Amino acid sequence: MSDQYKKLAAERAADDVTSGMRLGIGTGSTAEFFVHALARRVQDGLDVIGVPTSERTRKLASSLGIRLTTLDELPELDLTVDGADELDPHLSLIKGGGGALLREKIVASASANMIVIADGSKEVATLGRFPLPIEVVPFGLEATRRAILKVFGDLGLPLNMALRGGSAQPFVTDGGHFILDAQLESIPEVQTLGDRLVAIPGVVEHGLFIELATKAYVAGTDGVKTVLPI
């Protein structure tokens, strides 16, 4: 049923898109449902232009006839629609399970509004159950890893982190970086952790999306509900 719920949330978000909009288009399984829903509306005459957040999304959207551009050509967007790995009542998010967190955050930050689409399993009272992705530069990886663990220790968080893909064949992002996934269980001080992580020179970006989402459509057994930040 999870895919059905994702599809319902994505279709509800697609209904919010109006002609003339400049759209950020997210990455991941839920975002792909949005791309298909948006493509159907484009085929019916909707006039929009999109900025994809990953090569994967770019290929899918292009194949379905959605007109695309880049943030260099269109640096200000009206709306980004994207999924999330977790969302809390403040609409703070954990994103990056698909490995596109840097581009996703750049696009979301360039948008006037961001709609999150998700199934009900992604709602949590406190972020942290889903591993937090941290995108890092390959150079000096061990020094960066130790600096991150020191931050976790200072904040009383578990010292449990792994290189995505493993050292033999690490996952490489579209930007050519690695991802460290941190099993933190619960993140009571989201803003503090985010600020401490981005201050580490080897950290490119982290998967905490704070004060970016303006609305969420969350689908479950009772249909699609609208969630606004408290």
Q: What is the rounded CA–CA span in Å between residue 181 and residue 143?
A: 16
Residues contacting 77, CB < 8 A, separation 6+: 22, 23, 24, 51, 71, 107, 110, 111, 112
Asked whether 50 and 21 are in contact (CB, 8 A), the reply is no
Asked whether 102 and 173 are in contact (CB, 8 A), the reply is yes
Asked whether 196 and 155 are in contact (CB, 8 A), the reply is yes
| Helical packing angle, 190-198 and 141-154, nearest 10° | 150
3-state secondary structure at position 229: coil
142 in active site: no
Closest CA to 105 of 187, 207, 225, 203: 207
Which position among 104, 135, 189, 205 bears the catalytic label? 104
CA dihedral (96, 102, 108, 114) in degrees, to 10, reads 0
Catalytic positions, written as ranges: 104
